[in-house]
Structure 1
Amino acid sequence: MAFLRQWLLGVVSCAFLVSLLDQLTPEGSVRKLARFSGGLVLILCMLRPLGTAEPRELALDLDGLSADRAALEEQYRDVSGQSLAAVIAERTGAYIEDKAHALGAEVTAEVTVREEDGAFIPDRAVLFGEENAELSVLLTQELGIAPEKQEWRAER
């Protein structure tokens, strides 16, 4: 931060001196030459940090950037997959509860999903409420949740 402050102070001081020089020079070709020279000095003052920087500091660490990018992509895929799995589990649970309600049963469902070929598929269901054979068959036929992966519990 001190480097930036020092650089900015130098640029402002240089601009002040160039402006002062511009005001003090007489009209005509002398003023044009003074403005041109002042502009060059101001540009050099602004670009001074590039001349004092080490080449190692200016070089980009492309391998490090590539590794960071790959790690961030993997992290994004994991978070995205977890979010998608949670949404699918929640919506499948709501679907089961709607089907149970249509059959006249009061059931609350918690669904677990598994990943298969890049897609999340309902794998297991914990059902809270009175066991319903019709709903169990429906879960097997429509969602592919086998009867042994359907766990019925009386209370939550």
Structure 2
Amino acid sequence: MLAWIKAWLLGITAAALLVAAAQSLMPGGAVRRVGRLTGGLVLLLAALGPVLTLDQDALSRALSEYHLPVEEVEAFQNNSADVLQALIEEKAVAYISDKAEDLGIACSVAVETRAGEGGYPVPYQVTVAGALSQQQRQALTRRIEADFAIPAERQIYQKAEGVT
């Protein structure tokens, strides 16, 4: 398969060099325009020629013989789901922390995700730790509800010492 790709790329490169050399030798005007059209067709033929002559049966056999063990596929899927969940939690924490800072609130934020539609993790619960006034708490609660659709019931506010 790699030999086929190498031959294909060499063919395209050779055709491109030939077309470039021919265009540099052409006089201007109508001859150059026809030459450019012809050169473009030569490049197109060089690019598509091998694909059109591809042995479909051999390609099908090669693809059907190549498979990953089920354990490797499952491990990859689980690992990528964990990475996605951690990334979403990290971005949500950073966003909420920025919004709290905009409101003049000094706090630490933790976000818990759960599987949403399609199995993708979405922010589910927020824990905010800090010394917030009632007005700051209400403002941050409204912001989190608006931006993340997390209702006030799933927003936990703790004092800086960790007391609810």
TM-score using structure 2 length: 0.52
Instruction: Give the equivalent residue in structure 1 for 2:119.
Output: 118
Instruction: Give the equivalent residue in structure 2 for 1:148.
Output: 153
Query: How far apart, in 1, do the equivalents of 2:156 and 2:74 lie?
Result: 34
Query: How far apart, in 1, do the equivalents of 2:109 and 2:84 lie?
Result: 18
Question: Between Structure 1 and Structure 2, how many residues are aligned?
Answer: 93
Contact 1:93 1:111 in 2 (8 A): yes
Q: CA deviation at 1:130?
A: 2.8
Q: CA deviation at 1:79?
A: 0.8
Which protein shows a greater Rg?
A: 1
Instruction: Give the equivalent residue in structure 1 for 2:130.
Output: 129
Instruction: Give the equivalent residue in structure 2 for 1:59.
Output: none
Q: CA deviation at 1:100?
A: 0.3
Query: How far apart, in 1, do the equivalents of 2:147 and 2:122 lie?
Result: 12
Residues 64-95 of structure 1: per-residue CA shift (max 9 Å, x gap): x96x7111111111111011101110110010
Query: How far apart, in 2, do the equivalents of 1:119 and 1:87 lie?
Result: 12
Residues 124-152 of structure 1: per-residue CA shift (max 9 Å, x gap): 01101134111101101110111111110
Q: Percent identity?
A: 25
Letter of the structure 1 residue corresponding to residue 145 of structure 2: T
Contact 1:112 1:125 in 2 (8 A): yes
Contact 1:107 1:128 in 2 (8 A): yes
Question: Which of structure 1's runs of 4+ aligned residues deviate more than 2 A?
Answer: none
Query: How far apart, in 1, do the equivalents of 2:126 and 2:73 lie?
Result: 32
Letter of the structure 2 residue corresponding to residue 127 of structure 1: V
Query: How far apart, in 2, do the equivalents of 1:107 and 1:136 lie?
Result: 13
TM-score using structure 1 length: 0.55
**Which ranges of structure 1 fall in alignment gaps of 5 or more residues?**
1-64
Q: CA deviation at 1:118?
A: 2.8
Query: How far apart, in 2, do the equivalents of 1:98 and 1:107 lie?
Result: 10
Letter of the structure 2 residue corresponding to residue 145 of structure 1: I
Instruction: Supply the RMSD in Å over aligned alpha carbons.
Output: 2.1
